[in-house]
Structure formats: C-alpha cells, structure tokens
Structure 1
Amino acid sequence: MSREHRLTRTILALFLLTIAVPGWTAVDHGEHQANQKNEAGVSLNNGKPWPTDAPLRKGMEVIQREMRDALPRIHAGTYTAKNYTTLAKKMRAHLNHITRNCKLKPEADLQLHRILMEILHGSEVLEAKQGQSSGAAIIVRALDLYGRHFDHPGWKPLPH
C-alpha cells in the first residue's frame, strides 16, 4: 500500500471515528432519520443540496473529468491493468487534495465523506486482480450521489 493510499485512508478513518462518537457532530439524529437516504447513507439538507466550496468543486470536477476520459476505453475493454492502477492513484491524490482543502460545515462534511469513502472504495477495486471495471462503476455512482446531494452549479452526471 502506497504512502498516499495510507494517508487517504487515515484521514477518512479519523473523520469517521469523529462522527461515531456522540456529541462530536452537529447532525441532529431525528433530522438525519427523517431525510431520505440512499445506499451510501447520504442524505439531503432538509430536502436541499448541501453547500460546496471552491476546493471541493474543483476536486470533484477533476475526478469526474478523469472518469469521463477513462470510461470509453473501460467500456471497450481496452483499459489495461497499468491504466487502472494509474487511475486509482489519481483518484486517491484528488481525494487527498479535497480532504486537506475543503472546509464545509460538519453536517455537510459528514455527507461528503460518505461519498469520498465510496470513491476510495472504487479506487481500491480499480487495482484488484479482477473486476477492475466495477471500481469505475462504484466511482461513477459516487459522482452521481455527489451531484444529487451537493450544490455544484453546472454539474452533470456522467453517462453510463
């Protein structure tokens, strides 16, 4: 496991630990249950998308662009193991940048990190010995979740 990969996992794991301890987050439990959740547990902000900041928008746009560029070759079956490994490293680098620079309120940050964990999981699958294309599908689904749950002007889902 690379140093970059360990750093990303550590940052996200520490975040998840902080939200698991009662009182460490401002999320109201009743409101949280009232919001409709999806398979990753991401919910809206009282029915509205969560606010974003410039580092988050830039980072997510870069991740989306990387995936958009890779998808035609992934779908065609011409993406090599080396291509998948390179893509996975890029995803983790972008996640590191987002987690270091994005400054959202705790409630929004909680929702964002659920999406980022999905992207991290997808990047791990990209490097598996088999089924790497399913890692790309995981990341595309996470990007769709982001677009539905965060206020990112001009965001359009990837075709898949």
Structure 2
Amino acid sequence: MSRTFQALSLAVILVSTLGHAGATLAATGHEHGHSEGAQALQLDAGKRWATDAPLRQAMGIINDDMRQALPAIHENRLPAARYGELAEVVRSQAAYMVENCELSADADAQLHLIIAQLLSGADAMSSEASAQRDGAVTVVGALDNYATYFVDDGFKPLEH
C-alpha cells in the first residue's frame, strides 16, 4: 500500500471518527505503520509500552496544564476561555507527538487511541459551555490511560 494511500486512509478514518480533531491530526502527515484493528487499549504482553522523548515531553505538558486547572474544574469555576486555551494545548501537543513519533508500529497504534481520546476532549473543551467540563474529564481519562499503558517514569498521574 502506498504512503499516499495510507495517509489518505488515516485522514478519512480520523475525520469520520473525530471530526475537526481528526482533521487536525491527519493534516500533520503522520504516515508510519499502524496495526490494523486496534480498538481497545492493551498492554504489550502484560507490560506497558515503551515511549520516546517527544511523547514524554508532550504528555508532560498536557498533564501539567491540566494539573494547574484541575481545582477550578472540580469547583466548576474555570472560565470558558481557559477551557479553550487547554484545548489548544492538547491539540498542539498531540500534533507534536504525531510529527515526532518514533514508536514501534504496535505502540503507535495504542498511542493513537489515547490521542483520539485527547482530541475528543479538546473538541468538547472548545465547544459550548455545557460540554467543556466533560471534555476536561475526557482529557484526564486519556492522561490516566497513558500512565496505565505507557512507561514514563517522570509522569505523575493527576489526583482527581
């Protein structure tokens, strides 16, 4: 299968499943191998997946920003504009992960499930006020999944 066809297929899949977020991810040109049929997160033969420096850096930035906003989110007092800012951090860091990814194909497929969750949360955080808090919860869930399924000794899961 040609790289162009693979990239186009990924773009169509992402746009159909993630809307705007998928289009943003697809626009980055992420074209390396993907395991077909990866529908649910899973460990690598009982172990967490290896990470690379760009992934650890990007997830750390998202985690730190969410950690700072979490008290206001819990108290339902985070301004709508701040939700939008968080959404942009998630999108930009997801794009950075994809552009700089050096994971194995199987680990990459697992990461894409987490990225989809992150982008879904970002879309909700940048939409109507009634969905913003739920979007933050989705992003926090993605961060929890990252800590569960990927090795990153410097990553400190959020307490929520």
TM-score (norm 1): 0.78
Q: Shift of the alpha carbon at 1:155?
A: 2.5
Cα distance in 1 between the residues matched to 2:139 and 2:48? 20
Cα distance in 2 between the residues matched to 1:44 and 1:139? 20
Partner of 1:122: 121
Q: For residues 29-84 of structure 1, what are the alpha-carbon distances to aligned partners after superposition, in whole Å with 9 as ceiling and x for unaligned? A: 8xx7xxxxxxx711000000000011111111001001001111111222111111
Partner of 1:62: 61
Give yes or no for the alignment of 1:156 onto 2:140: no
Q: In structure 2, do the counterparts of structure 1 residues 9 and 102 end up closer, same or farther at CA, with 3 Å as the change threshold?
A: closer
**What are the equivalent positions in structure 2 for 1:32-43 lying under 5 Å apart?**
41-43=40-42
Q: In structure 2, do the counterparts of structure 1 residues 87 and 53 end up closer, same or farther at CA, with 3 Å as the change threshold?
A: same
Where do 5+ consecutive residues of structure 2 fail to align? 1-19
Where do 5+ consecutive residues of structure 1 fail to align? 20-24, 33-39
Q: For residues 87-106 of structure 1, what are the alpha-carbon distances to aligned partners after superposition, in whole Å with 9 as ceiling and x for unaligned? A: 11111011111111121010
TM-score (norm 2): 0.78
Identical columns (%)? 36
Q: Shift of the alpha carbon at 1:14?
A: 6.6
Residue 113 of structure 1 aligns with an amino acid whose one-letter code is: H
Q: After the TM superposition, which of the residue ranges 6-15 and 150-159 deviates more from structure 2?
A: 6-15
Cα distance in 1 between the residues matched to 2:108 and 2:139? 18
Q: For residues 111-130 of structure 1, what are the alpha-carbon distances to aligned partners after superposition, in whole Å with 9 as ceiling and x for unaligned? A: 00100100000000101211
Q: In structure 2, do the counterparts of structure 1 residues 12 and 121 end up closer, same or farther at CA, with 3 Å as the change threshold?
A: farther
Partner of 1:133: 133
Q: Shift of the alpha carbon at 1:140?
A: 0.6
Contact 1:73–1:79 at 8 Å: present in 2 too? Answer: yes
Partner of 2:24: 8
Contact 2:94–2:115 at 8 Å: present in 1 too? Answer: yes
How much is the aligned-residue C-alpha RMSD, in angstroms?
Answer: 2.6
Cα distance in 2 between the residues matched to 1:88 and 1:137? 12
Contact 2:30–2:99 at 8 Å: present in 1 too? Answer: no
Contact 1:91–1:120 at 8 Å: present in 2 too? Answer: yes
Residue 136 of structure 1 aligns with an amino acid whose one-letter code is: A
